[in-house]
Amino acid sequence: MSFAISIKRRVRASIPPLIFLAVASYFAWNATRGDRGLVAQQQDRLDLVAAQAQLAHANEDVAQWQNRLQGIGGRTLDLDALDGQARSMLNLVDPADRVVMMGNGTAASGLPAADPGSVIAPAPMPTTTAGQ
C-alpha cells in the first residue's frame, strides 16, 4: 500500500510542473508562430516592402498622367498631338494617311507582309463634284 501512496504523491507533485510546461510551451509557440509572432512579423515586413514598391509605381503613374494632362489641358491644346495619341491608343488610321510597313511581320490575316519597307497606299476615295 505504501507503493501506491508514493505513486499517488509523485503524480500529484508532477501535475503543477506539467501544467506550467504546457502553458509555457503554448506561449512559446505563439511567440514564434502565432498571429503576432516572429514569423508573422517577418511576413508583415515583406508585405510592407511590396506595398511600398506598388505605391512608388502608382506615384510614377500619377506623375506621368499629370504631365500628359498638362500637355492637353487649357489653352495649350495641341490638336495634332491629341489626334496622334488617340489614333495610337485606338489603333486606327485616317483614310487619307499612308501606312509604311516596317520589319518582316505578318498582317492580321496571317499572310506575310508584301514588302517590308514598302508604302501601301489607301484605297482611292470616290470623287464628288461640287454643285451637284
Output the CA angle 45-31-14, nearest 5 degrees: 170
- What confidence category does residue 106 fall into, taking pLDDT thresholds of 50, 70 and 90? low
Domain assignment of residue 23, yes or no: yes
Q: What is the mean pLDDT of residues 25-34?
A: 90
Residues in the chain: 132
CA-nearest of 101, 84, 96, 102 to 122 is 96
Task: Count up the domains in the chain and report the number.
Answer: 1
Tell me which amino acid residue 81 is. A
Q: Domain containing 61: what range? A: 8-98
What pLDDT is stored for residue 126 in this prediction? 58
* Residue matched to cell numbers 502553458: 23
Domain-embedded: residue 94: yes
In a domain, residue 86? The reply is yes
Q: Is residue 113 part of a domain?
A: no
Specify whether the CB–CB gap between 30 and 37 falls below 8 A. Answer: yes
